[in-house]
Structure 1
């Protein structure tokens, strides 16, 4: 018995199915593209990946690891062309692991006009980021300084005592918290 040639209707149906499947894949890829930044941020916050610090509420209770001290170094930078001076009040602190601490950063607008900036941060060594917890911070919040204005910006933090049990951090004696201030787009001059 001879087989019948494929019907044009079968071919059209296959083409519609293929098109629909490709459209679903395309929409999924587009959605993943838009979701990748917030998903990456959540991943970094949960794992400390790339030196991302942890966040905690002001009411968090942490057991202090009495007798376990660690040096915290503070680094400050501004993007080239941003007319601010930005520095830590004290470049280093020796802290007790688990105890709340506060560092103060000073920022001054050196220009003759208001300038708005925002800061990003990271922690090194990167594996320590999962244990460096900020309770209060100025990062990712727009800061507008008037001409010549100087402000004090606090960071309240602690080093989680779980760092002492982490084999990847057994040799960690110092953690560096680094901030970089960038101008917010509205303040940038067109090139």
Structure 2
């Protein structure tokens, strides 16, 4: 899962993250309804041909207007309002249904392990002890500690120091393969 911000200032980051996914949860606030950026993010997801799951969050609020938001999901987003999952992330209501819907409706990645390593970098951050930690999605091949990689934008080459999965904290692995989303550290 890749969590992206919904704010308009982060449209580029959302677009990069969506290029790394097979599906998207489109969230609408039960008290505020579908906002302009929700529609913009839906269009980005549709451009990437992603499976869309509508989710109405904050159903526990006294100001929640679930039927109004369902109408907006149908009229403004063109999605089936009956597919909308009702959730209160704060208290945990409906979260299990979100997970099950992801399993049921979002296809797994297409895996191509026969080609050379190809990946899309969608985010990075700086760690003062390890340097730049790069978040990426592998489309072909695999990557492991000690491998040499090359950035296509500037032809810079680096030796991979660590690869892993990001699960609340870094979880180092021996190798990551096509279809996986993870991180690498390479002295960048």
**TM-score, normalized by the shorter chain, greater than 0.5:** no
Higher relative contact order (CA 8 A, sep 6+): 1
Q: TM-score, normalised to structure 1's length?
A: 0.24
TM-score norm. by structure 2 comes to 0.24
Larger Rg: 1 or 2? Answer: 1
